[in-house]
Amino acid sequence: MSILKQTLSVGLFVALVSVLLPQVGLAQNGAGVRISPAVIEETLDPGTTKIYTFSVENLNASEQHYSLFTRNISDVAPGGAPIFADSNQEVTGFDLVDWITLPINELLLAPGEQRLIDFTINVPADASPGSHFGGVFVTADPPKFENSGAAVGYQVANIVSIRVSGEAVETASIRQFSTGKFLYGSQNVDFNVRIENAGNVLVRPIGPLEIYNSLGKKVGDVLFNEGRAGVFPGKTREFDNITWIGDSVGFGRYEAVLSAVYGDDGTRKTMSSTVTFWVLPLSIIGPAAAVLGVLLIATVVGVRIYINRALAQMTTGRRLISRKQKKTSNTLPLVVAILTVLALFLLAMLVLFA
Over residues 14-56, the pLDDT tens digits come to: 334 333 333 333 333 335 888 999 889 899 999 999 999 999 9
Domain that holds residue 142: 3-164
Lowest mean pLDDT among 65-74, 153-162, 180-189, 323-332: 323-332
Vertex 15: Cα angle to 10 and 19 (nearest 5) = 135
Q: What is the pTM of this model?
A: 0.60
Pairing status of strand 156-164 against strand 39-44: parallel
Residue 101 burial (CB count, 10 A):
14
* pLDDT single digits (tens) 252-310: 899 999 999 998 766 789 999 999 999 988 766 656 666 666 677 777 777 777 777 77
> What angle (nearest 5°) sits at the alpha carbon of residue 254, between those of residues 249 and 258?
120
Instruction: pLDDT band for 212, please (50, 70, 90 cuts).
Output: very high
Quick one: which of 181, 16, 10 has its CA closest to 83?
A: 16
CATH of the domain at 249: 2.60.40.10
204 touches 227 (CB < 8 A) = no
Domain end point (choices 225, 250, 279)? 279
- Is residue 173 within 8 A of residue 186, CB to CB? The reply is no
Q: How far apart are CA 187 and CA 244, in angstroms?
A: 7
Residues of the chain above pLDDT 70, percent: 69
Q: Where a domain ends, among 164, 187, 205?
A: 164
Kindly indicate the confidence band of residue 232, based on its pLDDT and cuts at 50, 70 and 90: confident
Peptide bond into 37 cis (omega under 30): yes
Q: What is the DSSP letter of 236?
A: E
Among 221, 256, 279, which residue terminates a domain?
279
One domain for residues 192 and 306 = no
Radius of gyration of the chain (CA): 34
Q: Is the pLDDT of residue 225 over 80?
A: yes
Could you tell me if 11 and 129 lie in one domain? yes
- Distance separating alpha carbons of residues 46 and 124, to the nearest angstrom: 6
The total number of structural domains that make up the chain: 3
C-alpha 317, offset from chain centre: 75
Shared domain for 88 and 104, answered yes or no, is: yes
d(CA 354, CA 349): 7
